A and B are shown apart, each in its own frame.
Chain A
Amino acid sequence: MSEIWHAERGDIARYAAGVIDDTRAGSIEAHLVRCADCRALLADVAGAAGPDTGAGRNRLDATWLAIVDTLDDPRPTVVERVIRRLGVRHDTARILAATPSLQGSWLLAVVVALAFATVAAQTGTDQGLALFLVLAPLIPVAGVTAAFGPDLDPTWEITAAAPGGGFHLLLLRAAAVFATTLAVATVASLTLPGLSWTAAAWVLPALALTLASLALSTFTSPERAAAAVSVAWILGVLVSGQETRDVLAAFGADGQFSLAAVALVAAVLVARRRDSFEIRSQL
């Protein structure tokens, strides 16, 4: 269909200069696509303003660049969109969304593991509850371990050599993974029978074990550190249960106090040995 109208020269000039309102600019753009005469007029007007520095060319270039940029802009994943919704900057969100232990498959594994533990706790026995309380703190340990380190992050070496890939990134990722698993485990603990203080007795162990694992990973690989901390934790719970004939003994006041001390010491160690996260002594 042929056009029955043409844009006014004044409008074209204002369009080229970028001083026209968006509605009118949109209308002119739609017309320009179909009308060779007006495109020639635009070229004339833009040319009169200077071949490369003219306002028209600037506007066209800017429009074209904006289109290219929109096409190129990586499509955010579900995880990235969720992180952005929480008010995190787009670039930080993108880095966090690439964390191995924030991927869908990992989160699914967390949900399945906690579902099993929750089912065991539904039996209403101390053993069932103990299983949940032992397992829940180990999930953030595994998640934080998988969030960094040479063997689990495929881009580790490139990341490590980048200015934004050091200790700061490790803390960001660790905090994101910890918060995520904490949220899932909290939901699971609310389904425990006979809700009482014990439902939250895994929170401090989770923090202490995660920090202990991070601190130990300044001496050895993150995987070994996580394995050592996990084994020590399970043995600790078992031994204290045997000695006191109470399978939940480790989660009592004394146990929580000891774990708070572990968390504190580990946090200090992590801060003091932060360099070993940035430049490894062994690979």
Chain B
Amino acid sequence: MTPTVSLMGLEKAYGRTRAVAGIDLTAEPGIMGLLGPNGAGKTTLMRMLATVLAPDAGQVRLLGHDPSEADGRLAIRRRLGYVPQEPGYHRNFTAFEFVDYVAILKEMTDRRARHDEVRRVLELVGLSDVSGKKIKALSGGMRRRVALAQALLGSPDLLVLDEPTAGLDPEQRLRFREVVSAVATDATVVLSTHQTEDVSAVCQRVVVMHEGRIHYDGSVRGLADGARGRVWLAADRHPQAQLSWRTGDGRHRNIGDAPAGVELVEPTVEDGYLLLVGHGAQEAAA
């Protein structure tokens, strides 16, 4: 089976900064989480997956097409849903009007059928009750859901979601997970996030990016296992710890090369991630 996403030797630089420094990646239906600190190159990669940014070098094939060719690009965009990191809105539009506007751009020309589809996706993200409200009157979390709703139009085969859970409260986040996991039975979802909880909750696979490169590509459990035997609790920050923070119960969670005799604990996905990307992730999370 042809993978939905196939990247080979992908590179992208902004001036002297290599945002994406040689990435090989394939993805098939299911949810792939993309974790990484700020500046890791995630958004640059997501924009290339969304066909809005051209790579400097390397090959991109999405849904079997090449986005550098006009016909291929059009074929991809007809089966693509995209939530950018900072989705803009026409603030005077209502939620319904905005999603309807994007539906027109997605070539849904039959007015009645388009409106049915707009209602469907607004219902999916739980915004039916406020569909007539202007976007400028909606909360940040609701706007995020409007962005997700437009991406779901037409049940796309490839969903590129760049930090879609930023600004969502816990209940909204649960709803998001429910929607995305339902969609991913047929579609390929690439989910970029800072939230290791999102990855643990819904992703079958996780890719960790740091400084433009892939540092881990595998199962969520595997990422956590990378920290096995290297996470321990102690009264204080241990000098041997690579990373350490005070937890709610007053003890320190230390990550690094554990000395003998310490109280090792079960590692989490976050531990594995922090161990991989070190201080960059800790600063981003701060």
Contact = CB atoms under 8 A, between A and B. Distances in A.
A161 B77 contact: yes
Interface residues of A, number: 33
A164 B73 contact: no
Contact of B53 (A69, A163, A275, A283): A283
A13 B14 CA distance: 70
A65 to B, nearest CB: 8
Contacts of A98: 90, 93, 101
Contact of A74 (B68, B97, B109): B97
A160 B112 CA distance: 25
B102 interface: yes
Main secondary structure of the interface of B (DSSP, over half): mixed
Interface in B98-145: 100-102, 104-107, 109, 111-112, 115, 118-119, 131-132
Nearest to B82: A161
B165 interface: no
B104 A163 contact: no
B278 interface: no
Interface stretch (A89-97, A178-186, A207-215): A89-97
Interface residues of B, number: 45
B84 interface: yes
Contact of B52 (A73, A74, A95, A160): A160
A282 B14 contact: yes
Interface stretch (A151-159, A197-205, A228-236): A151-159
A5 B86 CA distance: 61
B87 A158 contact: yes
A158 B150 CA distance: 9
A165 interface: yes
Nearest to A100: B90
Contacts of A33: none
B156 to A, nearest CB: 10
A59 B97 CA distance: 27
B88 A155 contact: yes
A74 B150 CA distance: 16
Contacts of A279: 51-54, 67-68, 73
A156 B88 CA distance: 7
Interface in A128-184: 153-166, 169
B213 to A, nearest CB: 20
B105 to A, nearest CB: 4
B84 A158 contact: yes
A116 B89 CA distance: 33
B80 interface: yes
A218 B97 CA distance: 31
A156 B14 CA distance: 20
A282 B12 CA distance: 9
Nearest to A283: B53
